Amino acid sequence: MRTTTALRTLAAALLTSGILAVTSAGTTATAAPPTLARGHGGGAGAFGGFGFWTPGVVVAPGWLDVRQLPTPVSPVVNRLLPGFQDSVQCVVLGPSFNGNPYWYWLSGVRAWAPAGFVYTYGLRVPYC
């Protein structure tokens, strides 16, 4: 994945400034655990990032809806601001969203995010 200097600078600034923002969607719905999602298996396990997770930061142009299941029609369980940081536990192949068919399981918010809007610093994310 090729990144621009501006994107790398933004990501570094967000990480070092400690920006963290979460807004509750006002629902008590629980997101599906990653073991229930359709994936490819054979992931990297502990070798994908740092321990059993890969760092990720939201790089969406505005609020990012994260969902109960890895599909654009699944209920929204939370909304994240650009710069939000979370642990990306794994990735699955699902319905394409904005041209990208991959979805990340964010372990902190316990929801699925379209991979095209979460920057993982070029680190490998294991399959669920």
Q: pLDDT tens, 60-73? A: 999 999 999 999 99
SS3 8: helix
Q: pLDDT at position 116, please?
A: 97
Q: What is the mean pLDDT of residues 6-15?
A: 42
With a cut of 50, say whether residue 2 has pLDDT above it.
no
The rounded percent of the chain whose pLDDT value lies above 90 is 59
Mean pLDDT estimate for the chain: 74
> For residue 76, how many other CB atoms are within 10 A of its CB?
15
Which fold does the domain 5-22+32-119 belong to in CATH?
Answer: SH3 type barrels. (2.30.30)
Q: pLDDT tens, 92-123? A: 999 999 999 999 999 999 999 999 999 999 99
SS3 42: coil
Q: How far is CA 26 from the centre of its chain?
A: 20
- Residue 32 is given by DSSP the state P
With a cut of 60, say whether residue 9 has pLDDT above it.
no
pLDDT-derived band at 53 (thresholds 50, 70, 90) equals confident
Domain parsing of the chain, residue ranges = 5-22+32-119
Residue with tokens 């999602």: 37
Rounded distance, CA 97 to CA 124, Å? 20
More confident residue, 44 or 86: 86
35: CB partners within 8 A, 6+ apart = 128
Q: Is the dihedral of CA 3, 51, 71, 59 positive or negative?
A: negative
Q: What's the whole-model pTM score?
A: 0.64
The answer for 62, left when phi > 0, alpha when psi is -120 to 50, beta otherwise, is beta
